[in-house]
């Protein structure tokens, strides 16, 4: 199967990066579930993660025959990390395994959106827009969730009482685009400016454009909080170092007492048609380090944090002739955070017999990812189930919020 050439111009580009943005720090949730001060992070993996390699069902008698030379085992040179005896974890994710063992992480296997075709663009539209069909690219479900959350404390007289979010990356992911104000931040890829440049610009615009001067000041402060990272090498959202850098910066902003509470990131490059073993090992290492960076940088607020990692669809159950996998259906979602009821693989496992595969080729999806997000939004953020069904995920009344995901 040929892949579409994914380019930034394919979607409407919205949102700001590093230096300037339109909104400053955010109010706290006024009525978050349990009276806590939560953080909710969504990480999109673009390109379709192979859930059968990320979290291999080693206990399924048909797994090894389908995966052949790329199958993972609990023994050998690079054994899978044990989760529960039936499922393993890719060896590139030891930090996630430690979170899992500490009951701060979970896996949702055989999950998917409502989409059953295999186009990256359409699959990503459905995943990020929250609609059950593609073509809705004006707003994302996370932004509409922000719009419907209980009002928070005012950040200034006359300011909006709505909770606002954080978009990480040069372009705002569709999932967080919309009417609710969003802070934008991206790691700098440019040479650092002279130390006196920012003060000189602030002085200039303070006389000619007070509004822009204030935004510049806010941008400088945000940059100071998110910068100073320990990551030496820089990379983009498809590079392990770039992933970790994005995560660390986001976590530092989320950790601020008056900072944002909801964030969205997108990591690229998860399309593994050929030579999957080496490529996915590298990418999963980046994801593992990113989740660990959130845990490290969030500090005390980690206990009230929930992160959901999702992708547009999965991969075929059988490998192809180039030791890779093609576009599929069911896949794996990851949950992490001190607020997550972890230490378990959540699944209604469909099995891997030919008769159990979707269209005789893919892992069948038995869990709707919308149910997962709804459950977390209700129990962590105090979101309304009605608003989730009608506005956040339009037409999803039959998809009930999953219970028991948040402690």
Give me the residue spans of the domains in the chain. 14-188+227-392
List of residues 6+ apart from 373 with CB closer than 8 A? 141, 308, 393
What Cα–Cα distance (Å) separates residue 4 from each residue in 127, 155, 310? 17, 44, 20
210 phi/psi in degrees, rounded to 5? -55, -35
**Is there a contact between 70 and 279 (Cβ–Cβ < 8 Å)?**
no
Name the architecture of domain 14-188+227-392.
3-Layer(aba) Sandwich (3.40)
pLDDT, one tens digit per residue, over 123-133 is 999 999 999 99
Listed as ranges, residues in the chain with pLDDT below 50 are 1-2, 4-28, 30-31, 153-163, 190-193, 229-233
Give the per-residue pLDDT at 293.
Answer: 98
Structure-token pair, residue 212:
């822009």
Q: Structure pTM? A: 0.84
Count the neighbouring beta carbons within 10 Å of the beta carbon of residue 348.
Answer: 11
Q: Name the token pair of 79.
A: 């054994």
- Residue 134 — φ and ψ, nearest 5°? -75, 170
Check residue 35 and give its pLDDT.
Answer: 73
Q: Which pLDDT does position 216 carry in this prediction?
A: 54
d(CA 190, CA 307): 29
Token code pair at residue 390: 């009608």
Pairwise CA distance, residues 401 & 267, whole Å: 26
Residue 68 region, left (φ>0) first, then alpha (ψ -120 to 50), else beta? left
Distances (CA, A) of 394 to 117, 180, 363, 385, 391: 19, 17, 26, 12, 5
In DSSP notation, 199-256 reads HHHHHHHHHH-HHHHHHHHHHHHHHHHH---S--S---TTSHHHHHHHHHHHHHHHTS
pLDDT of residue 237: 81
pLDDT digits 0-9 by tens, 40-89: 999 999 999 999 999 999 999 999 999 999 999 999 888 999 999 999 99
């Amino acid at each position: 199967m040929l892949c579409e050439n994914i380019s930034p111009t394919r979607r409407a580009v919205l949102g700001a990066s590093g230096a300037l943005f339109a909104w400053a720090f955010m109010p706290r949730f006024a009525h978050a579930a349990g009276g806590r001060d939560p953080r909710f992070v969504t990480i999109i993996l673009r390109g379709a993660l192979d859930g059968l390699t990320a979290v291999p069902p080693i206990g399924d008698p048909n797994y090894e025959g389908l995966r052949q030379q790329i199958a993972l085992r609990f023994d050998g040179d690079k054994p899978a990390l044990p989760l529960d005896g039936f499922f393993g974890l890719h060896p590139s994710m030891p930090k996630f395994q430690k979170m899992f063992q500490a009951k701060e992480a979970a896996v949702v296997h055989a999950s998917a959106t409502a989409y059953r075709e295999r186009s990256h663009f359409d699959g990503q539209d459905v995943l990020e827009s929250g609609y059950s069909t593609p073509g809705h690219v004006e707003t994302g479900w996370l932004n509409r969730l922000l719009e419907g959350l209980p009002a928070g404390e005012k950040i200034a007289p006359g300011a909006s009482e709505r909770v606002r979010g954080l978009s990480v990356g040069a372009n705002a992911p569709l999932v967080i685009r919309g009417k609710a104000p969003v802070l934008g931040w991206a790691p700098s890829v440019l040479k650092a400016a002279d130390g006196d440049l920012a003060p000189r610009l602030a002085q200039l615009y303070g006389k000619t454009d007070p509004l822009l001067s204030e935004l510049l000041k806010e941008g400088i402060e945000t940059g100071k909080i998110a910068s100073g990272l320990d990551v030496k090498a820089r990379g983009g959202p498809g590079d392990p170092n770039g992933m970790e850098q994005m995560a660390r910066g986001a976590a530092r902003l989320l950790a601020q007492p008056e900072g944002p509470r909801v964030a969205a990131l997108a990591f690229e490059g998860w399309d593994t048609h050929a030579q999957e073993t080496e490529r996915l090992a590298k990418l999963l290492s980046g994801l593992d380090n990113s989740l660990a960076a959130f845990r490290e940088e969030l500090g005390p607020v980690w206990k009230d944090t929930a992160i959901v990692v999702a992708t547009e669809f999965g991969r075929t159950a059988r490998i192809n002739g180039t030791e890779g996998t093609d576009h599929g259906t069911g896949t794996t979602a990851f949950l992490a955070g001190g607020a997550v009821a972890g230490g378990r693989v959540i699944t209604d496992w469909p099995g891997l017999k030919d008769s159990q595969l979707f269209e005789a080729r893919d892992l069948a999806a038995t869990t709707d990812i919308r149910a997962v997000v709804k459950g977390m939004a209700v129990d962590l953020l105090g979101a309304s189930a009605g608003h989730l069904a009608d506005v956040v995920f339009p037409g999803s009344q039959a998809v009930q919020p999953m219970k028991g995901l948040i402690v």
